[in-house]
Chains A and B, each alone.
Chain A
């Protein structure tokens, strides 16, 4: 029975248990809900929980565990000469077995017995069914595939039986326990509380998942490439292995990190002044009408997907800067050659800076408006102009908060992907000319992981090392920003 049908049956069973328990509770109470401890629906829910929850848990565990158990059983049955081979070859054999097993499920039993153990015929037959085999199957694989199918079918049958027994048993147990004084509501609420607790632990699980998944892959990478070569290497040249046999190329983080910081720096050069002045104007000068119009409009910039900015940089801004530089160069030297590349630090930085404007302006706006009015009134009362008040009183008071906001924005600039993928280029080099392309950590993560790949070579595993570096840099920036904001936030209260 397929999993979705089992799930559907469980839902139906749960609904039936709900109805049965509810009516049983009402019958026991003689039709008066007031005679019951809880409202009738709670008795229904209690029975529904008993009939579905244990069955569901067992179903999930079974589905997660059984493929591994079946696999190891099938592998144990491999002939000894196969077992003697390397782990990678055994994996290859097993994946072939799995493919054959999958194809056999599409054949009728007559067809399978007709095929016997003629490997070539099986390959042809499976190809006809749309299941291509990577290579010539060996005779033992067909037996293994048959065992695999048999064991999988057996496991599925036992699972179905266990799940239904559990569901029915649970429903009976719950129905038997129902009595007018039975505290159904409390039981149901305890389950609900557990469900809420489980939900909130997902946040922690995500973090643990991020750290562990990346660490484990990064450790595999560092087993092949020394960590010092990665963190202090100045050359990024991940040549794909094969040409020189064991040559892995060089995985120097420094050029990528410099590119990331450089582009982020240019972006901040655009975003900080524009965002800050916009925030100051909106908080201090703008009439409520202008403010209510300009603020949401600026925030639209934050809502536009970054791929749109990336495309815009690639198609419009980059070529524009290139042509502009050619014109300027022509006017100055008479040589109409461009000195700004279409893909460059400048292009990516400017476009990313514009994307970041609303982050700076919204966060700073909140912080500036939080500065108490008494401070402004005092300064204005002493005869300062508004700009003097802002420069000498409001901004110094809001500074810690603004610094926190800027740090958060910077972490966003470092983690930004789509703009730099499209606008910054892929050349990993160390240079200071902003008109040339440079590349970033995120670009390299995307580059190393798009395409058809195996997760065994350093060329792909390095992406996880890059990822965890990125994660820790942005994490530190964010924690520091939160710390600054929290520390100075309440200084006026």
Chain B
């Protein structure tokens, strides 16, 4: 600032030189500063791209599952040797279905049935859930006994990983989850068309399982659906009601001031605190069942309310006073003015805020952990009072599993979760675009 050329000092030749140096330095500083800004934005965006690409790269394979199709002979000798099923149906449940699969596999691969390591290695290629699948088939239709049916069963998670090329074959055979013999059988089955990948419907229908190949998001999807329904049904009317009261009816006094400050603070309370609230009020005090979507929904409702209230108040404030004046001028009561004129005009803004609040609630995990939604639930809940889990909680549970196949499942579940979020946010954006009004 002080190196301005003084009128008396210096010759004409020297002055511009000094100033040029200053300007160069200052321009360099300017360019650096700008570069920092670009670097900062790029850092954020690159990380975003990196995160999404990693999740997708790890997770897209979860949507395909390796299955093995085998002609299984439902021999009466194995299932029901004493022919008692007419009198005692429980023999069908207790029968050794693993043996049927083993025989089918041995036949298909031409293994020497007396070589026990070979037989064991071959049956390890099938999921442990496969015998249960056969049992369910037989229980559903006992007339199948004695016939030979082509059954498609899940392959073991390690075979699945190997088939997807996720197992490093350069590793020594002993340290690998799939040995060379099994790889040979896999290739044989593949060449016969008996081992193939198909779309993984189980990911969307099965409940949780300790076996990665049989684990699915079914329970979590139903649980999340219940949660979202409860949050929507409760938080929309309560949130809109609160906003209308504060914005249109309340006189400015200590009480409404208190409510306002409160709402602003509630929006910033850590989500885990809401979990503690739910635990002590809804579960310990009111005695509602643990792990239930109802409790989760109530907790998430309280958490979402501030978001909805803040958005709704902004939407109500954006409706011009002339509309209110016109309605009142035509003889509408204040309540009619609000419900017949202001509210419909504010609706797009309210719905946008609600969707954003719901999206936030959909991705929330911490409070649900505290009310016990981490329970291992294998079958879908039929009412909001049954134990359940939710999408992000399922991600958390799978993230703690060490197996490679669960990493794939976790990423797959994250993709599903992100897809839901994208759909919701797109909905919010479209709604805003579609109904945006300028007065």
Contact = CB atoms under 8 A, between A and B. Distances in A.
A301 interface: yes
Given A297-B48, A306-B365, A357-B44, A207 B266 contact: yes
Contacts of B81: none
13 contacts: A189-B333, A189-B334, A203-B262, A206-B277, A206-B305, A277-B36, A278-B40, A303-B363, A306-B363, A307-B363, A361-B44, A388-B26, A415-B272
B48 A203 contact: no
B104 interface: no
Contact of A196 (B27, B47, B245, B284): B245
Interface string A190-212: 00110111111111101101100
Interface stretch (B156-164, B202-210, B413-421): B413-421
A488 interface: no
B399 interface: yes
Contact of A197 (B245, B264, B366): B245
B245 A446 contact: no
B231 to A, nearest CB: 14
Interface of A: 67, 185-186, 189, 192-193, 195-204, 206-207, 209-210, 213-214, 216-217, 273-278, 280-282, 284-285, 294, 297-298, 300-301, 303-312, 314-316, 354, 357-358, 361, 385-388, 390-391, 408, 411-412, 414-418, 421-422, 442, 445-446, 449-450, 455, 463-464, 467, 470-471, 474-475, 478-479, 482
Contacts of A195: 241
The residue among A198, A203, A415 with the most chain B CB atoms within 10 A of its own CB is A203
A450 B279 CA distance: 11
The residue among B58, B285, B335 with the most chain A CB atoms within 10 A of its own CB is B335
A354 B46 CA distance: 11
**Chain B binding surface SS class:** helix
A442 to B, nearest CB: 5
Contacts of B369: 446, 449-450
Contacts of A463: 276
Contacts of A411: 268, 270
Contact of A203 (B37, B242, B271, B279): B242
A206 B272 contact: no
Interface residues of B, number: 85
Contact of B241 (A200, A301, A314): A200
Nearest to A270: B43
A451 B18 CA distance: 73
B34 A312 contact: no
Contact of A274 (B44, B262, B392, B411): B44
Nearest to A296: B429
Interface in B328-372: 333-335, 359-360, 362-366, 369-370, 372
Interface in B163-210: none
Nearest to A280: B37
Interface in B218-242: 237-239, 241-242
**Chain A binding surface SS class:** helix
Contacts, number: 247
Contacts of A308: 51, 55, 363, 395, 414, 417-418
Contacts of B399: 307, 310-311, 314-315, 422
Interface string B391-409: 0100110010000000100
B435 interface: no
Contacts of A386: 30, 33
B335 A471 contact: no
B309 A203 contact: yes
A415 B410 contact: no
The residue among B30, B237, B366, B372 with the most chain A CB atoms within 10 A of its own CB is B366
B55 A312 contact: yes
Contact of A470 (B27, B273, B365): B273
A67 B285 CA distance: 13
A80 B89 CA distance: 49
B266 A202 contact: no
A203 B418 CA distance: 30
B285 A213 contact: yes
Contacts of B29: 385, 387-388
A390 B265 CA distance: 32
A274 B40 contact: yes
A357 B41 CA distance: 10
A361 B192 CA distance: 58
A192 B270 contact: no
B178 to A, nearest CB: 22
A412 B51 CA distance: 21
A307 B37 contact: no
A385 B45 contact: no
Interface string B39-82: 11101110110010011001000000000000000000000000
Contact of B34 (A193, A298, A387, A479): A387
Given A189-B333, A214-B280, A307-B363, 12 more contacts: A67-B287, A199-B237, A206-B302, A213-B277, A274-B40, A306-B366, A311-B395, A312-B54, A388-B30, A417-B271, A467-B273, A482-B264
A10 to B, nearest CB: 17
A214 B277 contact: yes
A467 B271 CA distance: 11
B306 interface: yes
A273 to B, nearest CB: 7
B22 to A, nearest CB: 11
Nearest 7 CB-CB pairings of A with B: A415-B270, A281-B37, A305-B363, A199-B241, A277-B40, A387-B33, A417-B366
B315 to A, nearest CB: 16
Nearest to A213: B280
Contact of A418 (B259, B362, B396): B396
A304 B272 contact: no
Contacts of B274: 210
A445 B41 contact: no
B51 A312 contact: yes
Given A217-B280, A470-B270, A304 B396 contact: no
Contact of B363 (A304, A422, A471): A304
